[in-house]
Amino acid sequence: MKDSRDKLELVDIYKTYRVGPVTTQVLCGINLEVAAGDLVSIMGASGSGKTTLMNTIGLLDHPTSGAYIFQGQNTAKLKDKQLSTLRGRHVGFVFQSFHLLPLLTALENVALPLVYQGESRSQMKRRALEELEKVSMSDRVNHRPDQLSGGQKQRVAIARALVVQPSLLLADEPTGALDPDTANDVIVLLKKMNAEQGVTILIITHDPAVARQCKRQLQIDNGQLIENHVKAAIDRESFVPDVGADYFAQVTTG
Widest Cα–Cα separation across the chain: 56
Q: What is the mean pLDDT of residues 168-182?
A: 90
Q: What is the mean pLDDT of residues 103-123?
A: 92
Q: What local confidence, expressed as pLDDT, does residue 243 receive?
A: 40
The pLDDT-based confidence of 176 (bands split at 50, 70, 90) is: confident
| Structural domains counted in the chain | 1
Radius of gyration of the chain (CA): 18
The pLDDT-based confidence of 249 (bands split at 50, 70, 90) is: low
With respect to residue 19, please indicate whether it lies within any of the assigned structural domains. no
Q: What local confidence, expressed as pLDDT, does residue 5 receive?
A: 63
Which CATH number goes with the domain that contains 102? 3.40.50.300
Name the residue among 181, 175, 180 with its Cα closest to residue 241. Answer: 175
Domain range spanning residue 187? Answer: 36-51+89-253
Long-range CB contacts (within 8 A, 24+) of 18-26: 25/223, 26/52, 26/223
Within 10 angstroms of residue 54's Cβ, the number of other Cβ atoms is 20
The pLDDT-based confidence of 20 (bands split at 50, 70, 90) is: confident
Rounded Cα gap, residues 182 and 147, in angstroms: 17
Q: Over the chain, what is the mean pLDDT?
A: 86
Rounded Cα gap, residues 234 and 213, in angstroms: 17
With respect to residue 74, please indicate whether it lies within any of the assigned structural domains. no
Q: What local confidence, expressed as pLDDT, does residue 44 receive?
A: 87
With respect to residue 75, please indicate whether it lies within any of the assigned structural domains. no
* pLDDT at 166 > cutoff 60: yes
Q: What local confidence, expressed as pLDDT, does residue 15 receive?
A: 95
Rounded Cα gap, residues 5 and 48, in angstroms: 29
With respect to residue 58, please indicate whether it lies within any of the assigned structural domains. no
The pLDDT-based confidence of 250 (bands split at 50, 70, 90) is: low
With respect to residue 81, please indicate whether it lies within any of the assigned structural domains. no
Q: What local confidence, expressed as pLDDT, does residue 228 receive?
A: 62
Rounded Cα gap, residues 89 and 140, in angstroms: 26
With respect to residue 5, please indicate whether it lies within any of the assigned structural domains. no
With respect to residue 1, please indicate whether it lies within any of the assigned structural domains. no
With respect to residue 220, please indicate whether it lies within any of the assigned structural domains. yes
pTM, two decimals, is 0.83
